[in-house]
Structure 1
């Protein structure tokens, strides 16, 4: 890969992973727009690892507290706390995407990486996100998360295996439908990304480590670093401004992107 291609794709992944506009769609479409060969899943995996490191570092205090309380709650005589319940909610919400991911792995890697699929999901989820934000009461905090809510959001996350859907977009939309604030919906989506991205990194990474094909680890390392920086910056500013700006700008962007893709395909 050319250095410019690495920089471009890593920044695209870092800036779009936690915005509700679908990082996978942008990574798949980039080669079409800029004339590069498809970067393949190995590089996609590397830049996802960068975003994983960013979200873990940003939420390190919450993650440590949640892990501490969760392990304490399952120990003999342990008691549930808000942090341990949040940990259980994240575990439950992660199960659907892991099950569905194993079942349709080949379908996602090959048939669903088509521009037509991305255009359709980009538009449909954009409309869903806009509607969810508009109708939501937005009066629930993340501490009120229960197992029923977590399962609903987890099932929604499984749909995001279809490129163009946006994992963050559909989980935020699901949380908004349940009445959570924009900040709570975003925070839960970001925390939920940790086991989800980690599972995908392990699942695809085992094939990368054992492959006999040549792997340019320098290119992958640069991709990890740049996506980490971009993702950390995005998380910080998104959480600061999301209550003020709402989801409408992202929904509009999705509609324009989907329409542009369809225009290139059929006009």
Structure 2
């Protein structure tokens, strides 16, 4: 079993893009090689004992996290600085300090679950049929949440305020405004329980086919965030989680089985990082005016199609 430059380049592109698109990078990393078949299916079998493919994905995840840090560099400078000042002064006063602690507490559930369940999930469920099924489920979840979000907005209590440009709608106290204020201020209005609940949605992404960004954005929508704010919160949440998971497993890249794959993995990681950077920039603009529905449709069709293919094969 070996990894080639072509395999790692293609996988890097698939992983980097699908990590942030709400379509599941893990699911695509399982399904794509299986659909191609032949040496790709043998070389890129994540569930195989001692598979170098799983280690290569670890390196790609680190590259994805670095790309997110670069993409949101200004945000992370403010957030980390605010966290340090909050710890130093032992208080939470500013919007940035509150947002920093919201991200910290929201990361705890998936961190604990990841340490406990990650190996089991990947070894027993990282196969084409389960990944196909969960991809279809991911689409159903996204579509259902969009319907609930539209219904929520239709019944949202509204106060009318006269402004210089006309009439502005303000959500009731249990909701989060999509108008006015800084991005940080809108996210900082989340309650502690709300942030933890949104962060806990990432646990579902341990299932191959369930998208980390998709379920986190969905959780944000259900808590009243706009698509754009939910996506930004999801990407900020994903950065430390992806980075920590990758760093914890980096020692595995030193296994003897990986010695001949360092070059291909390095190329794949570079491609994954570039793909993740441009995906993040695109999606933040996309979710300013658009929804999860196209991704939901894709996941249902692709998931059911793959499930039929692998079940009958």
Spell out the pairing of 1:185-264 with structure 2 (5 A cutoff). 185-209=230-254, 211-215=255-259, 216-264=261-309
Q: Does residue 72 of structure 2 align to residue 27 of structure 1?
A: no
Secondary structure class of the residue paired with 2:210: coil
Q: Distance in 2 between matches of 1:207 and 1:47?
A: 13
Q: Deviations over 1:195-226 (max 9, x none)?
A: 100111122213323x3434232212111211
Q: 1:129 aligns with which of 130, 135, 142?
A: 142
* Unmatched 5+ stretches in structure 1: none
Query: What is the match of residue 54 of structure 1?
Result: 67
What is the match of residue 227 of structure 2?
182
- Candidates 202, 206, 213, aligned match of 1:161: 206
Q: TM-score, normalised by structure 2?
A: 0.81
Deviates more, 1:81-90 or 1:139-148: 139-148
Note if contact 1:101-1:158 (Cα within 8 Å) is conserved in structure 2. Answer: yes
1: CA distance between counterparts of 2:29 and 2:126?
10
Candidates 23, 41, 45, aligned match of 2:58? 45
Residue of structure 1 aligned with 2:86, choices 66, 73, 82: 73
Pairwise CA distance, 1:77: 5.6
Q: d(CA) in 1 for partners of 2:135 and 2:215? A: 11
SS of alignment partner, residue 243 of structure 1? coil
Cα pair 2:31 2:132 within 8 Å, conserved: no
Moved over 4 A (4+): none
Per the TM alignment, residue 182 of structure 1 is displaced from its structure 2 partner at its CA by 0.2
Verify the 8 A CA contact 2:102 2:188 in the aligned structure 1. no
Distance across 1 between alignment mates of 2:69 and 2:144: 30
1:143–1:78: structure 2 CA closer, same or farther, 3 Å change rule?
closer
Query: Is the Cα contact below 8 Å between 2:129 and 2:311 reproduced in 1?
Result: no
d(CA) in 1 for partners of 2:226, 2:89: 35
Distance across 2 between alignment mates of 1:79 and 1:188: 19
- Which deviates further from its counterpart, 212-221 or 52-61? 212-221
How many residues of Structure 1 are paired with residues of Structure 2 in the alignment? 266
Gaps of 5+ in 2: 45-51, 154-174, 177-185
How has the CA–CA distance of structure 1 residues 72 and 122 changed in structure 2, closer, same or farther, with 3 Å as cutoff?
Answer: same
